Amino acid sequence: MRRIYHRFPQSIDLDFELSRPFQEILLCLARLHNTHTTSKGGAGLIKERILVQVADKRTQFLDLDDLMPLSGNISEMADFRIGFQRTLLTPEKRLPVAENIFYLRIVDRGLMTECYVAKESPHGDMDAMDLRRFLKGACE
């Protein structure tokens, strides 16, 4: 079943291919969902969290946890909304530092998967090339 979002941006920031089949990319995105890393920053610890949502009923996005297993619910093409949240952890409080949100469309092309990326807003410190490098490292 195709899961596409009717308001997917018409202006694409980046188009690239991943040298993995469609189902493997789906599994990779499922593994990335709701994961986080913590690193030492200048003012304290920085927590980086990844949230992945998939298009549902062409009008909204659904958390990946609500649609498991992905392989039985998605085929041919799917739209995702991927959020990278960065938070500064201090002993007193948690301060949001940055949030980067991307729309990702993946299309089954046999042994390859075609990807289209558009950033939701110009704010944040990541761009489409950063998402491409991230996905290539995580999924290939």
User: What integer pLDDT is reported at residue 63 of this predicted model?
Assistant: 85
d(CA 110, CA 113): 7
How many CA atoms lie within 13 Å of 39's alpha carbon, on the beta-carbon side?
Answer: 6
What pTM value is reported for the model?
0.88
Tens digits of residue pLDDT in 28-85: 998 999 999 998 877 778 999 999 999 988 888 988 877 666 666 677 899 999 999 9
Q: Specify whether the CB–CB gap between 35 and 127 falls below 8 A.
A: no
Which of 98, 81, 106, 111 is CA-nearest to residue 20? Answer: 111
Q: What's 107's DSSP letter? A: E
What residue spans define the domains of the chain? Answer: 14-139
For residues 13 and 53, give the distance between their C-alpha atoms in angstroms, rounded to a whole number: 19
Structural contact between residues 114 and 15, judged by C-beta atoms closer than 8 angstroms: yes
Tokens of 66: 């609500």
